[in-house]
Amino acid sequence: MMHDLQPVPAVLVKIVPMVVDNHLFAFRPEQPLADIMPGQFVEVSISGVGSFPVSSCDLVRDGRIMSCIRRAGRVTDALYRLKEGDTVGLRGPFGNGFPLQRFAGHDVLLIAGGLGMAPLRGLLQALLEDHDRQGRIMVLYGSREPGGLLFYDELVGLSQQGRISVRFSVDFAETLPGPHPQVFCRIGLVSELLEGLQFAPRRTVAAVCGPPALYRCVLEELALTGIAPARIFVTLERRMRCGIGECCHCVTGGRYICRDGPVFSLEQLRGMAGAI
Ligand SMILES: Cc1cc2nc3c(=O)[nH]c(=O)nc-3n(C[C@H](O)[C@H](O)[C@H](O)COP(=O)(O)OP(=O)(O)OC[C@H]3O[C@@H](n4cnc5c(N)ncnc54)[C@H](O)[C@@H]3O)c2cc1C
Ligand code: FES
């Protein structure tokens, strides 16, 4: 696995606009990086501008790394000004990723808010491509407004094929997305989608990704349903610099988020003061 501080040149092979200020970017590194596991991240650098961490929203296919990236500030803005064929730098993959072996043989509950769907979509792809997998996959996904729901058609399609069940929430909307008979959508917070959800907590592993306001309330709510805290996972976002546990930029609750995380269980988080 390459953990060098020197970025590898990578060609921006495809840019696909999804929703406003959220595009899919496919990168092809000139030297292959180690496969990125769901929940791990790479550092994308743009010459003369800076770098930022980003997760992959898909499995690495034909050497291509796919990320859904929001235009958030200085460096992502510079990325949005590039075009297909331009070159960026990539370092990584970094971090632990989701412990896929802990998901085997269990029902899976994925809970995402906003851009949090991007890393969870990578996890979802890994679960769907594991043909030995047994158990249900339930997705609860909330966004501020219907137009912000990422991968909406894909999630609806998977639900119509019976491969997942999905429930959406939006903070506000004049009209709800649809109509899709199998798809549930309500106005409210994503945590409210747990209401009335039929599932077996003792058989379930949960993964959560979204803004801090989401995981602050939803993690303990999941524990109250009876899912063991050791089987509730969240991926944390912190400002990163080196990505390899050397600069201390990301240290929270005595742990390096870049190296020991970014994925932690609720059991671990309860011992990390200030992490959530
Ligand atoms: C492990 C990890 C995975 C990530 N995966 C994705 C992804 O899949 N897609 C994606 O679009 N983004 C992802 N991000 C967030 C992404 O790294 C930031 O949006 C990016 O750093 C913004 O850089 P910028 O220079 O464009 O913005 P800046 O100018 O640095 O910041 C713009 C705004 O965002 C805030 N901000 C920037 N970084 C963070 C952070 N880490 N935590 C909280 N607030 C922040 C700043 O305070 C500021 O308000 C991930 C972050 C981490 C740590
Ligand atoms: S980003 Fe440098 S120690 Fe984590």
Which of 36, 71, 93 finishes a domain? 93
Separation between Cα atoms, residue 91 and residue 27, nearest integer Å:
12
Average pLDDT over residues 231-251: 91
Q: Into how many domains does the chain fold?
A: 2
Query: Relative to the CA of 246, which ligand 2 atom is closest?
Result: 3
Percentage of the chain beyond pLDDT 70 is 95
* 83 and 125 inside one domain: no
What would the 3-class secondary structure string for 159-207 be? HHCCCCEEEEEECCCCCCCCCCCCCEEEECCHHHHHCCCCCCHHHEEEE
End-to-end distance of the chain based on CA atoms, in angstroms?
Answer: 30
* 113 and 248 inside one domain: yes
Structural domain for 119, as ranges? 100-269
Each residue's pLDDT tens digit, 60-103: 888 899 999 999 999 999 999 999 999 999 999 999 999 999 99
Looking at the domain assignment, is residue 221 inside a domain? yes
Mutate to test the pocket of ligand 2, among 240, 252, 264 (most ligand atoms within 8 A of CB): 240
Whether residue 181 has pLDDT greater than 80? no
Each residue's pLDDT tens digit, 200-237: 999 999 999 999 889 888 999 999 999 999 999 999 98
Q: What is the CATH number of the domain that holds 47?
A: 2.40.30.10
Looking at the domain assignment, is residue 2 inside a domain? no
Q: Whose CA is nearest to atom 34 of ligand 1?
A: 72
> What does the pLDDT read at residue 177?
65
Whether residue 180 has pLDDT greater than 90? no
Which of 93, 117, 152 finishes a domain? 93
Separation between Cα atoms, residue 168 and residue 149, nearest integer Å:
8
* 44 and 139 inside one domain: no
Each residue's pLDDT tens digit, 31-63: 988 889 999 999 999 999 999 999 999 988 888
Mutate to test the pocket of ligand 1, among 25, 36, 45, 54 (most ligand atoms within 8 A of CB): 54
| Confidence category of residue 3, pLDDT binned at 50, 70, 90 | low
* 113 and 140 inside one domain: yes
Looking at the domain assignment, is residue 58 inside a domain? yes
Query: Relative to the CA of 245, which ligand 2 atom is closest?
Result: 3
Each residue's pLDDT tens digit, 118-174: 999 999 999 999 888 889 999 999 999 888 999 999 999 999 999 999 999 998 876
* 109 and 206 inside one domain: yes
Q: How close is the Cα of 247 to the center of ligand 2, in Å?
A: 5
Which residues 6+ apart lie within 8 Å of 221 measured at CB? Answer: 191, 194
* 88 and 119 inside one domain: no
Which of 49, 73, 93 finishes a domain? 93
> What does the pLDDT read at residue 24?
97
Whether residue 1 has pLDDT greater than 50? no
Average pLDDT over residues 193-200: 93
Separation between Cα atoms, residue 164 and residue 117, nearest integer Å:
15
- Look-up of token digits 């009876």: 226
Give the predicted TM-score (pTM) of the model.
0.93
Looking at the domain assignment, is residue 192 inside a domain? yes
Give the β-pairing of 184-187 and 8-19: unpaired
* 85 and 104 inside one domain: no
With the C-alpha atoms ordered 71, 59, 236, 249, is the resulting torsion angle positive or negative? negative
Whether residue 7 has pLDDT greater than 80? yes
The ligand whose atoms approach the alpha carbon of 239 most closely is 1
Q: What is the CATH number of the domain that holds 256?
A: 3.40.50.80
Query: Relative to the CA of 250, which ligand 2 atom is closest?
Result: 4
